[in-house]
Amino acid sequence: MPAPKNSIRRSLLVISTIVLSTVLTAPVALAAPSPSSKPSAGSSATADPSKSPSKKSKDSKESKESKGSKAAPPAKMSTVGGTRLGQAGTQVNLASGVPVLPKGLSARSWIVADAESGEVLAAHNAHWRLAPASTLKMLFADTLLPKWPSSTEHKVESSDLAGIGSGSSMVGIKEDETYTVHDLWLGVFLRSGNDAVRVLAAMNGGVESTVKEMNEHAEELQAFDTVVVSPDGYDAEGQVSSAYDLTLIARSGLQKKDFREYASTVRADFPGETKKNKKGKKVRDSFEIQNTNRLLSGDYDVPVYQGIAGVKNGNTTNAGATFTGVAEQDGRVLLVTVMNPEKKESNGVYKETAKLLDWGFKAAGKVDPVGELVPPGSAAQAGARPGAGASPGEAGGAGEDAPGAVGGKPVASAAAGSGAGGIGTALAVTGGVLVLLAGGAFLVNRRWPLPDLVRRRPHP
C-alpha cells in the first residue's frame, strides 16, 4: 500500500480510537437503550429465582419476547459495536466477490464474527434481547472458572440442589457424594447440568451472590443486553441476552485454557453413585457423558463440523433452541451465535449455524464488516496495555494460557488427553497459532484475539 494511504489509514484509526473511547465511557443507558416492544403473555420461571440488579429491573418485561412465532424485534436496540447492529433485519455488505448469505435461515437473531479481529461479518437482529437458555452457562463459567483449582473436592449437600427448575437438564449429581470441580465443570459443559451449576453456585456462596457476580461480569464485558436471574439459564422472568452479547461472552471465555478444554470435550467419564457390591464393599463406578453440542459430537442428521471447538448449546420452552459455536479453518477463527430458529426441524439450530460458518469462512477477507465485538471495559480503559486490568488466566491477562503474551512462547500444538473425566477431549491443534497483539495496537485495531485454540479432530 502506498505511503499516503498508510498515513490516511493511521489517521482514521486514531480518530476511531478516540470515538471508541468516548462510546465506551458513555452511560450504559445510552449504549444499550431498552427495547420498546411489549412482552407477550405467558411465563416460565425457576423455583428459586434470584433478584437481578435494581438498575436492570426495568428489563424484566423483556423476558417473554421470544415466545410466540410472530414476535418482532423492538424498534430500538443497542448500538454497542456499531449503529448497524442496532438495526432490525439482516445487516451485511454484499459486493462483488462476496458470497450471498445461505438460504433457509429462520433464526430470530444471529451473528457471524471473526474471533480474532472482532469484526462482525454479518448479523440479523444482533441486539434483540431474547431468552438465552443454557448458552447463559458460558457467562456462568467465565465468571466462576477462576475461583477454584480443578482438583478441589466438594461433598454435595441437599441444600446445594435446592431450587432446580422442573424439567431441567441434569448430569446426575447425588447428595452426599463427593465431586471434584473438574467433574462439575464437565457436567456443566457436556450435559448442561443444572444440578452441576447449582452445586458450583452453592460453593460460591449461593445463587443470589452468583447471579450478582454474573451480572457484574456481563457489564464488564459490555454485554449490556444481558440480565441474569437464574445462573443455569433456566427460563426466568426478566432473564435475557442477545446474539451479540453471547458472542462477546464466548469470546471472553475462550481466553481461558480450562474453558476451551471443557468446551471442546466430546465425551468423558462422570462419577456415579457409591453402592455396595456383592461382597459388601463400597464401590463407586462411573458412567460416560457425551457433549450435547451436535456440531462437536455429531448426530444422525448432523455431521461433526470441520474445525469445531465448542462452545455451548441451549433449549428451553421460552428460548427455543440457542447455540454459540466457534470453529477454525485455515488459521481463521469464527464465532457464530444463532437464537431460536423458527423453522421446526431436527437439529435446526446446528444446521443454521453450520450454514453461517460455511458462509463466514468463504466471505472472510472479502466482505466489509458491519460492526465489531467490543473489548471488555477494563481492556478499553487500559489503553495501550492489553493485559492491564485482567488477572492471569482471565480474558486479556498474560497468564499461562495466554501464549502470545509478551515474553511468552506460542503453543503450536497440544497432545490429546485421556485422563480421568477427560476421555475424548479435543486437544489437537493444527495450523496457525493466533498471537496476542502487543503495545498500542490493541485499541487502535480494536482486536481481542484468541490464544492457542483447541479444536475437534475431524472424523477419519
Catalytic residues, by residue number, are 134, 137, 192
Closest CA to 164 of 212, 215, 213, 236: 236
Amino acid at 106: S
One-character DSSP codes across 179-205: EEHHHHHHHHHHH--HHHHHHHHHHTT
* C-alpha 407, offset from chain centre: 29
Q: CA nearest 382: which of 442, 437, 436, 434?
A: 442
* Pairwise CA distance, residues 357 & 334, whole Å: 7
The answer to whether 268 touches 172, Cβ cutoff 8 Å, is no
CA 238-339-201 angle, 5° bins: 50
Q: Which helix (H) or strand (E) holds 337?
A: strand 332-341
Query: CB-hemisphere CA count at 13 Å for 215?
Result: 22
Cβ-contact 301, 295 below 8 angstroms: no
- By CB neighbour count within 10 A (0-12 exposed, 13-18 middle, 19+ buried), where does 421 fall? buried
Residue 311 preceded by cis peptide, ω within 30:
yes
